[in-house]
Amino acid sequence: MTLSANKEALGFAKTLATQICDETPTKDNPFLAEERHISGYNIFDISQKLDYIETIFLLFKLELPSSQQKVLLNTLFNFLSNLGPRHPAIRAAMTAGVSKANVEHLLPIGLMTLGGENGGANEVERAYRFIEKINQTSLSELDDLSSRSALNNKTPGFGTRFAQVDPIAQRFAEQLLSLTPDTECLKKCQVWLEQINSSNNQPKIGWLESGIAAAVFYELRVGAREAAGLFQLACAPGILAHGVEQTHKPITAMPLLEDNQYELRK
């Protein structure tokens, strides 16, 4: 059996297919495109008439956002644009920058760190699926979900940072709720959070950045996998800015920790 027949028997496609982008090849070179459309919109029209957030939404949803969807996504991207130097992803890029790593490696280093399950993209994906469960649960059944979540300590996207509720994340969640009061997902998550905190037997938990991102992405129905990647995309500017800033400093600008400041775990 020939290689071609083998490929057909295994079900491989003959060409690469995507619903996102359509290109028209040039007449004299099929490897070059003379026209490109994203979900039916010409790329030159997009570059002139749409802003960045509208284009991001178009790429992932294949349609333009409503006014509320645009506010949600734009507000989230602005908030996540700088996670601050306490975040491991920012610190990774800063350490790489002051250590004189190649500048083109700084963002990938930070994004790889941001892929983790504690405050990273993996947690956003898990939080998306958890928030989906919350929103598919009736209000009368939320009490049971709250007690089971507290018992099993399985609340991705919600919790504490450094043993306390993160005040910035709480303020941002409140800001989102005030800006877009019709967001059913955010409101139901807030109800669930209040219920789980009403128990005197459990320590108080709050919103985490990963949970807010997951709630917004679920509100937009982009999908769990897409939410993980979009979270990294939204956080990328701060990672790069902090990393590049450190490249202009000597390595002595980074603190040299004493041996007793390290925590060794077996």
Q: From 229, 161, 162, 156, select the one nearest 189 (Cα to Cα).
A: 156
Give the Cα-Cα-Cα angle 52, 166, 85 (nearest 5 degrees).
Answer: 60
> How is residue 247 written in tokens?
């490249």
Which residue type, as a one-letter code, is found at position 22?
D
Closest by alpha carbon to 165, among 31, 173, 189? Answer: 173
What are the pLDDT digits (tens) for 223-233?
Answer: 999 999 999 99
Amino acid 153: pLDDT: 60
- Distance in angstroms (rounded) separating the CA atoms of residues 69 and 56: 12
Q: What is residue 41's three-state secondary structure?
A: strand
Contact 205, 222 (CB under 8 A): no
- Which residues, 6+ apart, have CB-to-CB distance to 249 below 8 Å? 98
Domains in the chain: boundaries: 3-49, 77-247
Q: Which residue numbers in the chain have pLDDT < 70?
A: 1-8, 139, 143, 145-153, 200, 264-266
Check residue 75 and give its pLDDT.
Answer: 96
Specify whether the CB–CB gap between 217 and 250 falls below 8 A: no
**Counting runs of H as helices and runs of E as strands, what totals does the chain give?**
12, 5
Confidence (pLDDT) at 257: 75
Angle between helices 224-247 and 121-135 (to 10 degrees): 150
